[in-house]
Structure formats: structure tokens, C-alpha cells
Structure 1
């Protein structure tokens, strides 16, 4: 009898602990949907919605995409070349900012030429003043600007489309 009672008690405690460990906010079940990508992406803007605009970030007001994610330029891209030099592993950390249209709409930028170039995946990568623009994989929330000055070659943009080459510390 004691053995049966002891086994029942162990089973009850195990059940209690397993139910405590359950987190209803993250069941691990995607419900048949594809897993969520760790890289933040903003849905392509409709043809009349601005694809680039000025927005608040951790380093001040800079150019952001439709979802408020900071955009960057890469010093190794040749201005006006019509091509991106970021390929392979570079694109894993720095995905291009794309548009569904070749004629993107911008808001709050001053005398800036915004155009597109063909992206590796067949979409239209945005350019600002002839420079391809990218997002940074470690920017997880709108307003993050963790890509600023990475490798001393990645920069945010001001309202005139010029690279902001200062770091968060003002260097």
C-alpha cells in the first residue's frame, strides 16, 4: 500500500512540475506556419506608401524603412555603380531594403535621389543618392541602430541621404 501511495505521490509531483514549466506564450508549436525569422523584416510598402522616411532611433533621427527599422549604407559599395558589393555572408547580416516598385515613395527626406537596383533575389533594392541601402540583423526593434559604425564601414543616413559617420559616443 505504501509503495502505491509513494508512486502516486511521485506521479502527482511530476505532473505539477511539468505543468509549471509550460509557457503558454511560447508553445513551440507554429500551428503549421513557417518558423519566425530572427531577422526583422518590414513588409514591402504599397506603391503609394513611403518606403523610406525619417524616424527616431537610438542615435537620433535617421532614415528608416516602412516598419521604422534603421537603414544603412556600406562604404564598400561604389556610389552610382548600380550594383551592391554585399554578397553571400554579408547579406546574412545586412539584408537589402527592397521595394515592390521601381519608383519608391519617400517622406521627410530633403533633395534625395531614391532609386532601385536589381537585388540578388529578383526584387528591387533601394538606393539613396546612388548607394544601396540595407538593414542590420541585430536591429530587432524599430529605432534600434546597432549597425552604426560596424567595422567602420556601415552608416546610417541623415535627411539629405548623407552617411552619418559618427558613433553613438559622438566620435
Structure 2
């Protein structure tokens, strides 16, 4: 009896582990570095992501450069990454690539010192937490 249970337990355990490993990301894909945590989107470092009201949704461009981009660093895109689902890639004026969610470019806030900080929400009336 125990040998039958252990034979079935190994494949079942592997299946459960595989299912659990993909639930943390928005689409279960390593090519999209964004996760949903506590009702907000976070980057691979666990820091909160934001959207900028001056970015025209779906335009494929960012309105945040210079000092703005210093304070609100864009979420970068790995060279091998491809758009997936609601996540697309925009090309910035300096030819760097930035992730966007539903057509809105995604940014970090430099004053968020640790994962879970959300100090950028509402700054200047233009910045909002990115939500799934």
C-alpha cells in the first residue's frame, strides 16, 4: 500500500510545485518582470511600480525624461524580452526599452527605499500606483 502512495506522491508533488511557482507573476512568465502584490504591481526587486498621468496611454512613448526619469526610473526591459498579454514594450527617446502595462509606461520611485513602500502615490497629482 505504501509503495503505491509514494509512487503517486512524487508526480503529484512535482505538479503542485510547478503550479505554485507560476502564481506569483501576472502571467506566469519569466519574460515579464512584474508581479501583483497587495493590489499593486511591483518590479522584480519587489518595489512598487507607478504610472504617470502625463504619459498618453497607448502612445508607445514616455513623457518622463531628465530629472523626471532620475526621480522616476523607468522599468527596464531585458534585451531578450518580448511583449506578453497586457504588457508591451515602448522605445524611449534614448532608444532604451521600457515596460508598459495596458499602454501605460511603468516607473519606480527613488524615495521608495524598500519593497512594499508606496511613497510615490499621488506625488504632484500626476503619479499613481500601477494596479493590475
Common fold, TM-score beyond 0.5? Answer: yes
Instruction: After the TM superposition, list the runs of 4 or more consecutive aligned residues in structure 1 that deviate by more than 4 angstroms.
Output: none
What number of residue pairs does the alignment pair up?
A: 103
- TM-score, structure 2 as length reference: 0.70
- Are the equivalent residues in 2 in contact too, given 1:77–1:84 (CA < 8 A)? yes
Partners in 1 of 2:51 and 2:41 — Cα distance? 11
Match of 1:55 among 12, 27, 37: 37
Specify the alignment match of 1:141 in structure 2. 114
Matches within 5 A, 1:58-97: 61-97=39-75
The structure carrying a bigger strand percent of its residues is 1
- TM-score, structure 1 as length reference: 0.55
Cα deviation, residue 92, structure 1: 1.1
Structure having the higher Rg? 1
- Unpaired runs of 5+ residues, structure 2, are 1-28
* Higher relative contact order (CA closer than 8 Å, sequence separation 6+): 2
Partners in 2 of 1:119 and 1:84 — Cα distance? 6
- Unpaired runs of 5+ residues, structure 1, are 1-46, 106-111, 160-171
The structure carrying a bigger helix percent of its residues is 2
